[in-house]
Amino acid sequence: MAKKPGKRRIGVVVPIGALRGRESTGVGEYLDLIEFSGLCAKMGIGLIQILPVNDTGYESSPYSALTAFALHPLYIRLGDLEEAADFRQKIAEVGRNFGRERRFPYYQVLRAKMDLLREMYRANAGPIAQEAETGGLASWIKENSWVKAYAVFRRLKEANDEKSWKEWDEGPAGAPDMNAAIEALWAKPELRAEHLFWAWLQKALDAQFSRAAGAVRNAGILLEGDLPILMNEDSCDVWAHRNLFKMDLSAGAPPDMYSPEGQNWGFPIYNWDEQAKDNYAWWKARLKAAEKYYDAYRIDHVLGFFRIWASSRVDSTSALGRFVPYLPVERGDLEKLGFDSDRIRWMSRPHVPTGELWDAIRAGWDAPPEPEAVAARAFDAALDRIGNEELWLFKGSINGEKDIRALGLHPAAAEFLVKAWQNRLFIEYESGKFFPVWYYRSSRAYASLSEPERNDLEALLEKRRADSEKIWEEEGEKLLSVLVDSSPMLPCAEDLGAVPDCVPKVLAKLDILGLRVIRWFRSWDEDGQPYVPFDRYPELSVCTPSVHDSSTMREWWDKETDQEHFAAFIGVPSLPKVYNPGTAKIILKHAAASASRFRVFQIQDILDLSRMWYSPDPALDRINVPGTANEFNWTYRIPASIETIAGDIELIHSVRELADL
């Protein structure tokens, strides 16, 4: 039975690591939620949403987890551990080293904490081993059986210098019965101490997070977690349960205005047919683990439960991706439209004119070797000529963009060939089965069609899309019903991107709240692309001005938006050009008055209600910049301690006004 979303609430989104509590050690910690919930209660905030908190190892993105079950050691409070008595000075030193940073140095803080945790464990190895035999740790392991595979995986990952399990020198990867192989490793006496370290650590993390979640609940506030739909290929779950995943395909998102070649996340897609055999036991176990802490959960990329955009593992972009599932265009369909084998090949295999490659190399040539040598190398390494024509096909050894880049060609030649590889109308992903390339109307093959041929082809593609949407609706309702019926938590969906018509229909049917980001919730097909009025927001939705992958409202207003258009939309044409607390209050009040059940604000947008917390540049307040990998992303911290911010009476009053709406 679907969960009813309850009363209207104002919420705040904050990464755990962003908090600065009285006892934080270099980074926000689970127990900081206790102090933070007190501040939220003063402000009238009724929901705290956090980013994912599963262990990601030394990868800072919370959406690239090593596990769907284990918690991240980064957020542990060292001083709260029973074993901390003899380590107070070292714990304080970690706090001094990292506590004043504007953004926390992810790797250094994690390394310092893990080193101390190892020391604590070694100093108490005897009592911990005894507890694992007959005490609380033994009971905890029995109740959380996933920890065995996690502990074995983490030990092997450390022993192999943190490399992917595909590159390990040892371990049971590929064993016919992975469960039995993992149990055998777990039981080895010589490995027991190392395995127990990870189990002891997870038990401590569970205790701290449970205590914090209980305090949030006692404050009358919902705690909402974030469950990424996909798993990192280099994760314990994929390693231990490969049958649940399709390893030959990489999940992502199709091209759009922000990512013209799409997004290739590198994560395998789910094998839903295999998961159905045990009635989706893995997903049910995942929800059961999460509901120990959360009252609600965000389903990241909910579109993936309907259909996922998937690319070949040999492509680096997702420009040649396809939807899974999808009713394919078959060879017989094309033959009925009058296309013979040669023309089907013309549409589905990229053809490269001699002159175009030459022109690209000349245009991009700026240093030795001579362009003739560059061109000869490119033709010889990547292409086969069609008879005596000035037209070439890619060699049979080229199966994707990665193969082209691996040839070591001159950059001008490599870039041209990658674009040429994408220049086709169809991809033939299985023999006789075709999917239209996202940019098929810009392809050489499409341009060569007559108008009647284009009309016939467009009609066929629309028929396949409509028929596929029926499958997507059935798939989404079936899979999301499993989630909704398996947990008392309230589901909220992140339904951004190219959303099929069936998605909002299924979400409404199952009482799942969708997401409405103000800057993107517009009537895109109408003249002027007007913003949707706040009173027309669906009640079963979460209204928010910004998300962790976007700029803050302050940066959006100052640098990105058409200010006059938005000011006219909210009926306040005299808004200042430079964002200030007055601007923030006006915009956030309109958002808070929307018809959505939850109105949720990033912590940065709330803090911008007071100039006291303004960064010199609003770009410094971003959590993540998609498409980049650096030490900046995912390391945001609030600009002052929770205690100090709680003393900003004007800020508390401003947020209380939003809540009172």
Q: How far apart are the first and last CA of the chain?
A: 30
CATH code of the domain occupying 9-240:
3.20.20.80
Contact between 62 and 15 (Cβ < 8 Å): yes
pLDDT for 317-345, tens place per residue? 999 999 999 999 999 999 999 999 999 99
- Please give the Cα distance from 612 to 652 (Å, whole number): 13
Closest CA to 654 of 582, 594, 599, 596: 582
- Please give the Cα distance from 46 to 603 (Å, whole number): 14
Residue showing tokens 């980013």: 51
pLDDT for 229-280, tens place per residue? 899 999 999 999 999 999 999 999 999 887 899 999 999 999 999 999 999 9
Please say if the pLDDT value at position 365 is more than 80.
no
SS3 category, 550: coil
Burial of 322: CB neighbours in 10 Å, binned 0-12, 13-18, 19+? buried
Confidence of residue 5 (pLDDT cuts 50, 70, 90): low
pLDDT for 569-580, tens place per residue? 999 988 999 999
Please say if the pLDDT value at position 387 is more than 60.
yes
DSSP letter assigned to residue 647? T
Enumerate residues 6+ apart whose C-beta is below 8 A from 569: 530, 531
In this structure, the chain runs to a length of 661
Calculate mean pLDDT across residues 524-545.
96
pLDDT for 23-80, tens place per residue? 999 999 999 999 999 999 999 999 999 999 999 999 999 999 999 999 999 999 999 9
- pTM of the complete model: 0.94
Closest CA to 198 of 117, 272, 256, 110: 117
In the chain, residues under CATH classification 3.20.20.80 are: 9-240
SS3 category, 228: coil
Distances from the Cα of 648 to the Cα of 39, 230, 262, 286, angstroms: 11, 40, 43, 39
Token output for 263: 């997004």
Question: CA dihedral defined by 581, 583, 584, 588, rounded to 10 degrees?
Answer: 140
Helix axis angle, 136-143 relative to 125-134, nearest 10°?
60
- Please give the Cα distance from 200 to 180 (Å, whole number): 22
Closest CA to 407 of 370, 380, 367: 380
